[in-house]
Structure 1
Amino acid sequence: MKKADIILKSSAVFTGLSAIPQKGAVIINGNRITAFVSWDDTETYIGPQTVLKDYGDCMILPGFCEAHAHFQDGALFGSEDFLREIAESKSEEECVQMVQAFAESHPALEKIVGLGWFPANWNDAPLPTRHSLDAVCPDRPILLHAADGHSAWLNTKAIELTGVDKNQDPDLDKFILKEENGYPAGVVKEKALFDYVTPHIYQMGFDIDYKVQRNLIRGCNACGITSFNDLSGHLPHVEYDAREAMEQRGELTIRMHLSGNLDGPEKLEEAKALRKRFSSPFLSVPCVKGMLDGTTSTYTASLFEPYTDNPGVSGDTLYQYEALIENIKAANAAGFGVRIHCIGDKAVRWALDGYEASARVNDLSNIRNAVEHIETIHPDDIPRFKLLNTVASMQPAHVPLEYNEKLSRVGYERCVYEWPFRSILETGGILAFGTDYFVSDYNPLPSIYYAVTRHGYDGKITSINPWEKIDLYEALRAYTLGGAYAEGRDHELGTLSAGKLADIAVIDRNLFDIDVEEIKDAKVVMTMLDGKIIYEK
Structure 2
Amino acid sequence: MRRITCLVISLGLSASAIADTLYTNMNGYTLTSPAGEQAVLQEFSSMLVENGRIQAIGKEALAQRFAETDNIVDMQGKTVFPGLTDAHGHIQSLGNSLLQVDLRDTESVSAAVQKVRTYADEQPQMKWITGRGWNQEQWQQNSFPSAAHLDEVVNDRPVWLMRIDAHAGWANSEALRLAGIDKDTVAPEGGEIIRDEQGNPTGVLVDNAMQLVEDIIPEPSLEQQRSAYELAFQHLIKLGITSVHDAGINSNEISVYKGLHHQGRMPLRVYGMIAATEPKLAQLLAEGPYESHDQKLTIRSVKIYADGALGSRGAALIEPYSDDHDNHGLMVTSEEKIRDLYELIIPHGFQINTHAIGDRANRVVLDNMAEIYEELGGRNLRNRIEHAQIVHPDDLERFSELNLIASMQPTHATSDKNMAEDRLGSERMAGAYAWQTLLDQGTVIAAGSDFPVELANPFYGLHAAVTRQDRSDLPTGGWYAEEKMSLEQALRSFTIDAAYSAWQEKSLGSLEPGKWADFIVLGQDPFAADASNIWQTQVEQTYVAGKRVY
TM-score (norm: length of structure 1): 0.91
Residue 478 of structure 1 aligns with an amino acid whose one-letter code is S
Shift of 1:25: 1.8
Deviation string for 1:91-139 (max 9, x for gaps)? 2233222222221222121110000111211245332222222232111
Please say if residues 189 and 332 of structure 2, whose CA atoms lie closer than 8 Å, have aligned partners that are also in contact: no
Structure 1 unaligned spans of 5+: none
Is the alpha carbon distance of 1:485 and 1:197 closer, same or farther for their aligned partners in structure 2, counting shifts above 3 Å?
Answer: farther
For residues 127 and 105 of structure 1, the distance between their equivalents in structure 2, rounded to whole angstroms, comes to 26
Tell me, yes or no, if the aligned pair for 2:469 and 2:479 is still in contact at 8 Å: no
2:43 to 22, 33, 37: 22
421-430 or 455-464: bigger deviation: 455-464
Which amino acid in the other structure matches residue 538 of structure 2?
K
- The structure 1 residue matched to 2:208, chosen from 163, 166, 191, is 191
1:16 counterpart SS class: strand
RMSD over aligned Cα, in angstroms?
Answer: 2.5
CA separation of 1:200 and 1:339: change in aligned 2, threshold 3 A: farther
Q: Tell me the residue number matched to 2:145.
A: 128
1:483 is matched with: 498
Q: Compared with structure 1, are the counterparts of its residues 300 and 11 closer, same or farther at alpha carbon in structure 2 (3 Å cutoff)? A: same
Question: Structure 1 residue 221: deviation in Å?
Answer: 1.3
| Identical aligned residues as a percent | 28
> After the TM superposition, which of the residue ranges 515-524 and 420-429 deviates more from structure 2?
515-524
Count of residues paired in the alignment: 527
Determine which of 151, 154, 158 is the counterpart of 2:171: 154
Displacement, 1:528? 1.6
Provide closer, same or farther for how the CA distance between residues 167 and 267 of structure 1 changes in structure 2, counting only shifts above 3 A: farther
CA contact (8 A) 1:76 1:202 kept: no
C-alpha offsets along residues 196-252 of structure 1, whole Å, 9 cap, x if unaligned?
33455694222222223212211211222111111134xx54344443332122121
Q: Are the equivalent residues in 2 in contact too, given 1:143–1:152 (CA < 8 A)?
A: yes
> 1:269 is matched by which residue type in structure 2?
A
In the TM superposition, 1:154-303 aligns within 5 A as: 154-164=171-181, 171-172=188-189, 174-179=191-196, 184-193=201-210, 195-198=211-214, 203-233=219-249, 236-263=250-277, 266-272=279-285, 279-280=292-293, 281-303=295-317
Q: Is the 8 A contact 2:29 2:44 kept in 1?
A: no
Higher helix proportion: 1
Question: Is 2:82 the partner of 1:67?
Answer: no
Name the CA distance, whole Å, in 2 between partners of 1:434 and 1:329.
28
Query: CA contact under 8 A between 2:196 and 2:202: conserved in structure 1?
Result: yes
1:285 Cα deviation after fit = 1.4
Say if 1:339 and 1:370, in contact at 8 Å, map to a contact too: yes
Which residue of the partner structure matches residue 502 of structure 1?
517
Contact 1:423 1:468 (C-alpha < 8 Å) held by counterparts: yes
Q: Distance in 2 between matches of 1:241 and 1:534?
A: 24
In the other structure, the counterpart of 2:5 is none
Residue matched to 1:118: 135
Question: Residues 164, 497 of structure 1: CA spacing in aligned structure 2 closer, same or farther, 3 A cutoff?
Answer: farther
Q: Which moved more, 1:15-24 or 1:467-476?
A: 15-24
Q: Unaligned stretches of 5+ in structure 2? A: 1-13, 33-38
Alignment of 1:361-400 (within 5 A): 361-364=375-378, 367-400=381-414
Deviations 1:340-380 (A, max 9, x none): 11111111111122222232234436522111112211112
Corresponding residue of 1:83: 101
Q: Distance in 1 between matches of 2:382 and 2:234?
A: 28
Structure 2 contact 162–169 (Cα < 8 Å) conserved: yes
Structure 2 vs 1, CA of residues 278 and 384 (structure 1 numbering), >3 Å: closer, same or farther? same
**Is the contact made by 1:274 and 1:285 (CA closer than 8 Å) also made in structure 2?**
no
Mapping for residues 280-359 of structure 1, pairs under 5 Å: 280=293, 281-359=295-373
Q: 1:124 to 1:438 in 2, by over 3 A?
A: same
- Give the Å deviation of 1:400: 2.0
Give yes or no for contact 1:268–1:331 (8 Å, CA) kept in 2: no
Question: 1:58/1:407 Cα in 2 relative to 1: closer, same or farther (>3 Å)?
Answer: same
In structure 2, give the amino acid aligned to 1:36. I
Tell me the residue number matched to 1:465. 480
Of the structure 1 ranges 364-373 and 218-227, higher mean CA displacement relative to structure 2 is found in 364-373
Q: Tell whether 2:77 aligns with 1:57.
A: yes
Q: Which amino acid aligns with 1:58?
A: K
Query: Matched residues in 2 for 1:61 and 1:461: separation?
Result: 29
CA pair 474-177 structure 1, distance change in 2 beyond 3 A: same
